[in-house]
Structure formats: structure tokens, C-alpha cells
């Protein structure tokens, strides 16, 4: 429950827009008071529940009837910087229907988890040199379609697993340019093992969804000679063309497409 505001606190709160995010300097420009006085008043508004401090100097304005998370994607970017990636990017691109309970932000060095709302958590994933390939779309910094697909295959655990990734591909509606970008990142950051794993799964996708993936791309992905494994377990199937021992049943890889 929120506590009552003082007159000066009301001046600040009612000069701001609930649901929006402000930095302290912008608030100072709106409310011309001394920096130290503003800092104290903002701290009080946070303690009383009228503002949420996202990080040092960054505040979200809460609604009068309760703290409401209006845009977790924008909030995540304001907390951690970086760009939206993995399942969050798939959702923004319309390749997933389910609203994500975790918002993923790709960063250069910072990995962290912040419980922002009882129904949503925000997770920063450090990608190091792979933290690149973002575009600006719908008011967000987000990985490009090609880079999103690469990131998802690189860390499938942040995208709902391989079945979810394969089901998202037809809905991503990748252009020839997007596929070139995807291949570029595989060749830049990947290796023969990752490339052939992806190639095998994309060829499997083509068997279920006609022309989902360009045939010339599949040829580019079949590189390297070392026998590799996809998944794990006791009963694997050797796929000679790709040099892969596959432990994940094909019906499971395509399950999201087959059963939704």
C-alpha cells in the first residue's frame, strides 16, 4: 500500500507519466529543483511505492492503483542495456504466441537475474564478442532476425529448446538477406560441429514444412568431418550425411510444429 505524498513529492509525481521510465536528469529538467533535494524526494517516492528504481538514476513511474509493469521489454533494456534476444526477440517478431515469463537481454559482459514483477523476471545473458547484430525495431534494440536465429541455436535453453526454435522459423519469414546474416554469424562464431547440428535440424524442418529453408544454405552448413552428437542418451541414430549421432527423436524435434 502506498503512503501519502508530501506537497513536493506530489509536484514530482504528477509531472510524470505513469508507466513511463525517466532518468534523474530528465526529471530535474521537468522539475527545476536542487540535485540533492531531488535525490531525497525520489528516494522517498520509491520507498512510498510511487516510483520503482530500476537502477541508479533510472525510475519507472507506478500507476496510482498499484505497481504495473506496462512494458517489460523496455524496462529490461533500461536496466541492463544491450538488446532483446532469444525467446523475447522471437515474441517481438511474432514468431511465438506465448507472452514470455522471462525477458532476455543480451549484453557484452553482464549476466544477472532481476525479479521485477511476480509474474515476470528479467535475465541478462552475457554473450561477449557475440553480443552484436542488433537493430532498432518497435522502440526496442533487438537482435536482427538472422542474429536472433543464430543466438537461439547457440543457446537453445533461452528459447524453449530446439522444437520451439524450429517451429518459430517459418513464422520469422526470413528473407534471403536474413539467411545470409544467419550464415555469416555461424561462420564467424561457430564451428563445424555447431554448423552441422543446425544443418541437420533445418533439413529435418524442410521435410515437414516445404521450402522453409533454402537448399543452398544447407550445403553451406555441411562442413567438418568429426563425428558429433546431438542430445544424449543410450540410443542414438547415426545420420551419415551430417556425421551426427542424433539422440533426440525426430518427433520431439518437430513436436511443436506437429502438435502446436
Structural domain boundaries in the chain: 7-61, 72-259
Q: Which residue has the cell 531531488?
A: 38
Name the pLDDT band for 1 (thresholds 50, 70, 90).
Answer: low
Note the pLDDT tens digit of each residue in 128-179. 999 999 999 998 999 999 999 999 999 999 999 999 999 999 999 999 999 9
C-alpha cell at 194: 555447431
CATH class of 7-61: mainly alpha
What is the C-alpha separation between 182 and 188, in angstroms, rounded?
10
For the segment 98-104, the average pLDDT, to the nearest whole number, is 90
Provide CB contacts within 8 A for 74, sequence distance 6+.
21, 139, 140
Q: What is the mean pLDDT of the chain?
A: 91
Task: Give the closest residue to 90 by CA, choosing from 24, 31, 172.
Answer: 172
Q: Residue by residue, what is the 3-state secondary structure of 126-160?
A: ECHHHCCCEEEECCEEEECHHHHHHHHHHCHHHCC
d(CA 160, CA 8): 47
DSSP strand pairing (112-117 vs 102-107): unpaired
Q: What does pTM read for this prediction?
A: 0.79
Pair type for strands 58-61 and 83-84 = unpaired
CB 231 within 8 A of CB 248: yes
CB 59 within 8 A of CB 21: yes
**pLDDT at residue 206 above 60?**
yes
Amino acid at each position: 500500500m502506498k503512503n501519502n505524498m508530501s506537497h513536493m513529492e506530489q509536484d514530482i509525481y504528477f509531472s510524470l507519466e505513469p508507466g513511463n521510465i525517466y532518468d534523474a536528469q530528465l526529471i530535474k529538467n521537468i522539475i527545476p529543483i536542487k540535485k540533492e533535494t531531488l535525490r531525497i524526494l525520489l528516494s522517498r517516492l520509491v520507498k512510498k511505492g510511487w516510483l520503482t528504481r530500476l537502477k541508479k538514476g533510472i525510475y519507472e513511474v507506478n500507476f496510482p492503483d498499484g505497481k504495473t509493469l506496462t512494458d517489460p521489454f523496455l524496462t529490461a533494456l533500461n536496466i541492463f542495456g544491450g538488446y532483446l534476444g532469444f525467446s523475447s526477440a522471437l515474441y517481438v517478431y511474432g514468431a511465438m504466441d506465448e507472452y514470455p515469463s522471462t525477458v532476455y537481454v543480451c549484453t557484452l559482459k553482464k549476466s544477472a537475474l532481476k525479479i521485477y514483477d511476480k509474474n515476470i523476471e528479467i535475465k541478462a545473458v552475457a554473450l561477449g564478442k557475440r553480443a552484436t547484430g542488433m537493430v532498432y525495431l518497435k522502440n526496442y534494440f533487438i537482435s536482427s532476425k538472422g542474429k536472433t536465429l543464430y543466438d537461439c541455436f547457440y543457446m537453445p535453453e533461452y528459447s524453449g529448446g530446439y522444437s520451439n526454435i524450429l517451429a518459430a522459423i517459418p513464422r520469422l519469414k526470413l528473407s534471403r538477406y536474413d539467411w545470409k546474416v544467419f550464415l555469416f554469424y555461424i561462420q564467424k562464431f561457430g564451428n563445424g560441429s555447431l554448423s552441422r547440428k543446425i544443418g541437420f535440424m533445418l533439413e529435418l524442418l524442410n521435410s515437414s514444412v516445404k521450402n522453409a529453408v533454402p537448399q543452398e544454405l544447407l550445403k553451406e552448413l555441411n562442413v567438418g568431418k568429426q563425428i558429433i552428437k546431438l542430445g544424449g542418451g543410450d540410443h542414438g541414430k547415426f545420420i551419415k550425411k551430417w556425421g551426427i549421432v542424433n539422440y533426440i527423436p525426430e518427433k520431439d524435434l518437430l513436436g511443436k510444429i506437429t502438435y502446436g
